[in-house]
Structures are given as C-alpha cells and as structure tokens.
Amino acid sequence: MIEIRVLTPDDWPTWRELRLAALAEAPAAFGSRLADWQGDGDREQRWRDRLSIPGSHNLVAVLDGRPVGMSSGVPTADPLVMDLISMWVHPDARGRRVGHLLLDTVAQWARGSGADRLRLSVMPDNARAKALYRRAGFTGTDELGDLLPDGVRREQVMLRPL
C-alpha cells in the first residue's frame, strides 16, 4: 500500500534523504546538482527552508514503510496556476502508481487552493517523466522553460487543467 504524507519543516531528514537520492540517481532530471546540496550546502536550516516555501505543499510517498517518492506544489505569481516541482520516484517503486498518486495529490491541493492549472517543467530528454505526465493529463505548451546549462536547449513546460 502506498501512503502519501504531507511534510512539515520538522520532516527535513526524510526530505533530505529523498532529495539526495533523486539528485544522485537522476542528475540530468533536475536543475539542481547533487554537489549543490552536499558539503556546505547540506545544512539543516537549508532543508527546513526548502520545506517552508510560503504556500507550498510538500509530499512524500511511502511504500511498505519506506519513503520512495517526493513532490511539491508551490504557488506562482498567478493565483490560478500552481507549479509542480521536485518530482521523483525511486527506481524500485516506478511502475507501481507512486508517481500518479503524487501527481494527483498535488493536483487536488492546487484545485483546493483555487488554481485551475498545474504547471511543471521537465528536461527535454526525460522521456519517461514526460510519458508519466502525459498519462496524468499534462500537455506541452509553447511557454519557454529555463535555459539549460548548454545555453541552447530549454526545459519543456507542461500544463494540466484542473
């Protein structure tokens, strides 16, 4: 059974464990780098601050008593749009609906917060994530995503009506 839990800043050790695992397992999937969150970047207050983004909704998926996935919803300047960020599912839990539950839970939160759209950015080469997002009702947009380190390509922005 998959349990979705809402995290508070006091749950920072769980978030830290998952985020470091995500950045190590899928370095090309995120704008952040593992090195950015290690060494001097690995501070309790920084992890607490990440879970304290005003208006955010931070989730962890637990499967068989073990944290195996994470995602966050955060407000944007447009009150009708919420952003999905920091989405990741451990390879051992992929294909078991963990990603769908995380996405649907963030979508329910966004709808309950008054939004009518959920937006995300995904790396252009992350075919597996894009397939999951399409199955969950997201479609590509013409919106320009963040510029990638190569200085040429951009993240792909996807949107899901709520």
Question: Count of domains in the chain?
Answer: 1
Structure confidence by residue, pLDDT tens digits, 44-90: 999 999 999 999 999 999 999 999 999 999 999 999 999 999 999 99
pLDDT of 33: 87
CATH number of residue 153's parent domain? 3.40.630.30
Contacts of 145 (CB under 8 A, 6+ apart): 121, 154, 155, 156, 157
Please report which helix (H) or strand (E) contains residue 31, including its range: none
Packing angle of the helix pair 127-135, 98-112 (nearest 10 deg): 60
pLDDT of 149: 81
For residue 35, pLDDT over 90 is answered with no
Domain that holds residue 74: 2-161
Instruction: Give the pLDDT mean for 114-131.
Output: 96
Encode burial over 81-96: b for 16+ CB neighbours within 10 A, e otherwise. bbbbbbbbbbeebeee
Please report which helix (H) or strand (E) contains residue 1, including its range: none
